[in-house]
Amino acid sequence: MWVKKFHKDDVEDKRSPIPTQVVSNEEYLPRPQTKQQKQVEELIQSLASKYSKTAGLSRRDFLKTVNGMAVAFTAMNQVFGEYFEVQAEEMIDESAIKELWPKNEFIFDVQTHHVATGKTEPLGFRVMAWPFNKDLEGKKPQKDDLKFNNYVKEVFLDSEVSVACLSGIASKVLDTMNGDEMVEARNNINAMSGSQRMVCHGPIAPYTPNFLEEAERQALDLKIDAWKFYTGVFDMNGEYSWRMDDEELIYPFYEKIKTWGKNIVCAHKGLPFRKPRPGETDYTHPRDIKKASLDHPDLNFVIYHSGFRDQHMNLPPEDFVYR
């Protein structure tokens, strides 16, 4: 089971307005904290100790305020350079922040998931973290955390998300939600809110039974908002990995979706489900995007995860680099 970063910080009394190391959405193992990130963490605590006294608050309570957020931006600027526009008075004076605060901000969460009713919850993803936190080992993950009700609570009630995109994978191996179930969830959310608060992907792949016919059904009948590809899968049960620049396999799909007006193609690139075997092509690598996008300039390709390499493909942080 994974532990939320803020829970860990609460135990260590290092609660911060922002994460001070890479965190995970449970699709990959996060990298260890770097030396610079550790410096940011220490600066945040030091500055908060100083300015919380002026505010008459405990350090922990101070870091929950907008002034605490200004402290976090200031700490990052001191370590990484002047990336954020933040003034010294914003760490003390709340009115200084309100004057500069963005008005009518729009927040679009482009990747959200939940598990459909009756589908098997992938609790194994949460168990993956047991080796990295012995205090959590053996604690049973909760199925309801992955269901619709908790999804609505966390995305639309406990956050400031304006619109969310519900995403998923075309797979019977990792079947947590199909296109029909995603569209049903989208329509229910929008009906409850009386506005468009959710859009959804149409999960599709060349190995999908009746591939082009199913794509047409999703586009015209279900009215999905965009497509979602996972090009690197488990090569089992008739499913296989493939490339987005395969002219014979996928280009007919590209031509079809243009006629349906569904021209947004999203793809999971990076964060492979498993380590490629020796000599095996890494189908999650984004190398196939260039040709596909140049050959189809009237399609919009959206690449998820920035081709982010999994932890096994990275060297450790600075102090522990292999020699």
The 10s digit of each residue's pLDDT in 30-41 is: 778 899 999 999
Q: pLDDT value at position 149?
A: 93
Q: Over 80: is that where the pLDDT of 296 sits?
A: yes
Helices 35-55 + 66-80 axis angle, to 10: 140
Q: pLDDT value at position 4?
A: 59
Segments of the chain assigned to CATH 3.20.20.140: 108-313
Identify the residue whose tokens are 């590809």. Answer: 229
Q: pLDDT value at position 259?
A: 98
Q: pLDDT value at position 134?
A: 52
Nearest to 229 by CA among 168, 144, 290, 280: 168
Average pLDDT over every residue of 122-129: 63
50: phi then psi, degrees, rounded to nearest 5:
-70, -50
Query: pLDDT higher for 279 or 134?
Result: 279
Q: Over 90: is that where the pLDDT of 256 sits?
A: yes
CA dihedral 147→150→156→159, nearest 10 degrees, is -130
Sign of the torsion angle spanned by Cα atoms 212, 218, 224, 229: negative
Q: pLDDT value at position 323?
A: 34
Binned at pLDDT 50, 70 and 90, residue 320 comes out as very low
* Model pTM above 0.85: no
Contact 149, 130 (CB under 8 A): no
Q: Over 60: is that where the pLDDT of 314 sits?
A: no
322: phi then psi, degrees, rounded to nearest 5:
-65, 140
Domain range 108-313, CATH class: alpha beta
Average pLDDT in the chain: 86
Nearest to 1 by CA among 198, 171, 134, 149: 134
| H/E run at residue 203 | strand 198-203
Query: pLDDT higher for 81 or 18?
Result: 81
Q: pLDDT value at position 318?
A: 54
Give the number of other CB atoms < 10 A from CB of residue 49. 12
Lookup: tokens for 106: 């729009």
Q: Over 50: is that where the pLDDT of 321 sits?
A: no
Query: pLDDT higher for 158 or 130?
Result: 158
**Helix, strand, or coil here: 202?**
strand
Query: pLDDT higher for 297 or 131?
Result: 297
Nearest to 289 by CA among 275, 305, 310: 305
Give percent above pLDDT 90 in the chain.
57
Distance CA 189, CA 38 (A): 40
**Tally of CA atoms within 13 A in the half-sphere of 214 that contains its CB:** 15
Average pLDDT over every residue of 88-109: 84
Q: pLDDT value at position 117?
A: 86
Q: pLDDT value at position 322?
A: 36
Amino acid letter, residue 51:
Y
Query: pLDDT higher for 280 or 206?
Result: 206
Q: Over 90: is that where the pLDDT of 308 sits?
A: no
Query: pLDDT higher for 10 or 173?
Result: 173
